Structure 1
Amino acid sequence: MTGLLTLPLWSPYIAGAGIGVLAWLSFLVSDRPMGCSTSYVKTAGMLLSRVYPSHVEKNEYYQKYTPKIDWSWLIVIGIIIGAFISSSLSGTFAISWVPPLFASTFSDSAVIRWVIALVGGIFLGFGARWAGGCTSGHGISGSMQLSLTSMVTSAFFFVGGIATAMVTFALFG
């Protein structure tokens, strides 16, 4: 088993089975579906409440999704810690401001990379909230519950991602 943990790439079947078990445990332990996009909105609400608390208190969205650290917020922390442990064990950990593929395709400028990442992250967050969840919420937990809405949403996540990549590479690549 320790040999598996040191591999730089895992079998998609093993990784998929692990995600399935994790999603199942999420329901068993917390009676909640697995997902993390709401945690970013809650973080924004926690930060905004330090500057403009009356806005957060009156905001209908923050009344539904209370800005606080909860289980979904901890999933994000777990993703970061897990990625660090995995890359360290496999010997692939490296800090890179501009990944090689981005540098060879678009630019080796760290500023351009970070601006594009920021804009992409904003669009991703907006889309996830508009869709009522992210790929883990809809694609894993929703599909596991046989939610037609989640299956359609997941399909459009992929269609949108593929279309965006094709346009981006055609225009700038």
Structure 2
Amino acid sequence: MEWIFEPWPWYVAGPLIAGIMFSLLFGGKTFGMSSNLRTMCTIGGAGKKADFFNFDWKSQRWNLTVVAGAIIGGFIAANFLSYDTAVHINPDTVETLENFGFASAGGAYLPNELFATDALTDPKSLIILLIGGLLIGFGARYAGGCTSGHAISGLSNLQLPSLIAVIGFFIGGLVMVHLLFPLIF
């Protein structure tokens, strides 16, 4: 059982993802995490206020199960299936992050300076999280889906808009890391 505690190699995880995608394609379904926000808003009654939310949400119950599985699976993996939660990244990257004020760099998947409960009392961290969340939500809606929907479902369906979106996500990530990140921190 030791293998369950280690990261799985690409040649195991990749075919598993491909198998899930084939089953979704044959079932006439598409995968995407951001579409669940629309479903949850519809369940909450947003369809009475905006036509965008007026659809049969029950047809998307299966995708809500994906979200629940991701949350439960992440909790189990982090709390019961992980010996070492340190992130193994390049020492130069750790040094750069430490220079930006991230003392937890290389020791945690999410930097404590932004994601610990103490960060919610720091106005700068709170503003960064709120603006970042709004930009991600707007970007996912504007692009017609999130990175998982476009990169996994869209590309496996050979959709040109998904290829364009994935290239845009990649360029946006590079701009954030190399231009905006140093300005913010």
Q: When the two structures are superposed, what TM-score results if normalisation uses the length of structure 2? A: 0.71
| SS class of match (1:100) | coil
**Alignment partner, residue 32 of structure 2:** 35
Which moved further from structure 2: 114-123 or 80-89?
114-123
Provide the rounded CA distance (Å) in 2 between the counterparts of 1:114 and 1:10: 34
- Structure 1 gap ranges (5+): 50-54
2:33 and 2:146 in contact (8 A); partners too: yes
1:6 and 1:90 in contact (8 A); partners too: yes
**Alignment partner, residue 52 of structure 1:** none
Between the two proteins, the alignment pairs up a number of residues equal to 159
Q: CA deviation at 1:99?
A: 8.6
For each residue in 1:105-134, what CA deviation from the matched residue of structure 2 results, as whole angstroms up to 9, or x when unmatched?
x89851244542333222112111111111
Which moved further from structure 2: 128-137 or 107-116?
107-116
Q: When the two structures are superposed, what TM-score results if normalisation uses the length of structure 1? A: 0.75
When residues 155 and 99 of structure 1 are mapped into structure 2, their CA distance, relative to the original with a 3 A threshold, is farther
**Structure 1 segment 79-90 matched on structure 2, within 5 A:** 79-87=70-78, 88-90=80-82
**Alignment partner, residue 104 of structure 2:** 100
2:49 matches 1:25: no
When residues 107 and 171 of structure 1 are mapped into structure 2, their CA distance, relative to the original with a 3 A threshold, is farther
2:57 matches 1:45: no
What code does the residue aligned with 1:90 have?
Answer: S
- Structure 2 gap ranges (5+): 87-101, 106-110
What code does the residue aligned with 1:110 have?
Answer: A
Provide the rounded CA distance (Å) in 1 between the counterparts of 2:38 and 2:103: 28
Among the aligned pairs, what percent are the same residue? 31
**Alignment partner, residue 97 of structure 2:** none
When residues 33 and 67 of structure 1 are mapped into structure 2, their CA distance, relative to the original with a 3 A threshold, is closer
What code does the residue aligned with 2:63 have?
Answer: S
**Alignment partner, residue 131 of structure 2:** 119
Of 135, 157, 162, the residue aligned with 2:169 is: 157
1:45 and 1:56 in contact (8 A); partners too: yes
Q: CA deviation at 1:91?
A: 3.0
For each residue in 1:64-95, what CA deviation from the matched residue of structure 2 results, as whole angstroms up to 9, or x when unmatched?
x445561222211111111122222123579x
